[in-house]
A = this chain, B = another copy of it.
Amino acid sequence: MSAPRIQVWALDGIAEVVAGDDLAAIIGDALAADADGVIDGDILVVTSKIVSKAEGRQLAASDREDAITAETARVVAVRGTTRIVENRLGVVGAAAGVDASNTPEGTILLLPVDPDASARALCAALRERFGVRLGIVVSDTLGRAWRIGQTDIAIGAAGMRVVDDLRGGTDAQGRPLVVTVPVVADEIASAGDLVKGKATGRPVAVIRGLSRYVTDEVDTPGARTLPRTGEHDMFRLGTDEAIAMGRQVGYADGFAAGRASRD
């Protein structure tokens, strides 16, 4: 296998996106104007912010706390004003993805309703326009447990594989690789963030050289398959919350036993 070589750059010429905009047309025009053109196997990383804006997911900033509550499927941990929650998409993070940066003054943005569906719509329209197979990643910026700061991850995807499942493959010594499942959609979102930046007004990155992840079909298992939740989640509650829950149960059991011990 020859070494892949990738190039990553951000598209110029995408102006402020507003509710009702045809995002596929806007991104398509920026692609058409790009000096490097579009080739089969290119992957576009699209900041979820502009998907949300086009889909009219904007609210008044004064509704922020209520919006976080509404977007929350389950509270995982709370400390001070920080709420770590599982959002509607199964993604665990602060503030349920409700965003107040890079939004018009006095407004907040909710995440797209269904980022995989948004990715599919973009993917189909852009494939149709350019006549090549493109992949789409819709990215969001997220904190992580046990690490400072943030990285970009995939919250939507279409037309591509989101993981490079090496189970069944072999390592360089020919032994089976049993555990490693690189989440390429997240790695691609991170690579895109390195050129998009947070403050540059360039919300779309092109990644060229990863056509091996791009599929013939548009409708692929998307980023919705990436969260690990429910019984498989060893960190389904924050430590303080779990201790408090255990203490309550233990206290009741202990109290009953204590009373009984005197009989």
Contacts and interface: CB of A to CB of B under 8 A. Distances in A.
Nearest to A236: B239
A180 interface: yes
B146 A198 contact: no
A102 B4 contact: no
Contacts of A175: 101, 105
A86 B145 CA distance: 12
A186 B146 contact: no
A179 B237 contact: no
Interface stretch (A21-29, A62-70, A118-126, A226-234): A226-234
Contacts of A244: 246
Nearest to A16: B172
Given A166-B198, A180-B141, A249-B250, A146 B229 contact: yes
Contact of A234 (B9, B240, B259): B240
Interface string A144-177: 1111111111000000000110100111110101
Contact of A262 (B82, B245, B262): B262
Nearest to A184: B194
A60 to B, nearest CB: 16
Interface residues of A, number: 101
Nearest to A181: B149
B200 A172 contact: yes
Interface in A216-263: 225-229, 233-262
Interface in A190-227: 190-191, 193-195, 197-202, 209-210, 225-227
A93 to B, nearest CB: 8
Q: Taking each of A195, A227, A244, which has the highest tally of chain B beta carbons within 10 Å of its own beta carbon? A: A195
Contacts of A242: 237, 239-243, 246
Contact of A235 (B146, B149, B249): B146
Contact of A243 (B6, B92, B172, B243): B243
Contacts of A10: 3-4
A150 B187 CA distance: 9
Contact of A191 (B166, B187, B240): B187
Interface of A: 1, 3-10, 12, 77, 79, 82, 84, 86, 91-92, 101-105, 141, 144-153, 163-164, 166, 169-173, 175, 177-184, 186-188, 190-191, 193-195, 197-202, 209-210, 225-229, 233-262
User: Which 6 residue pairs of A and B lie closest in terms of their CB atoms, listed nearest first?
Assistant: A258-B258, A254-B254, A246-B246, A250-B250, A242-B242, A247-B250
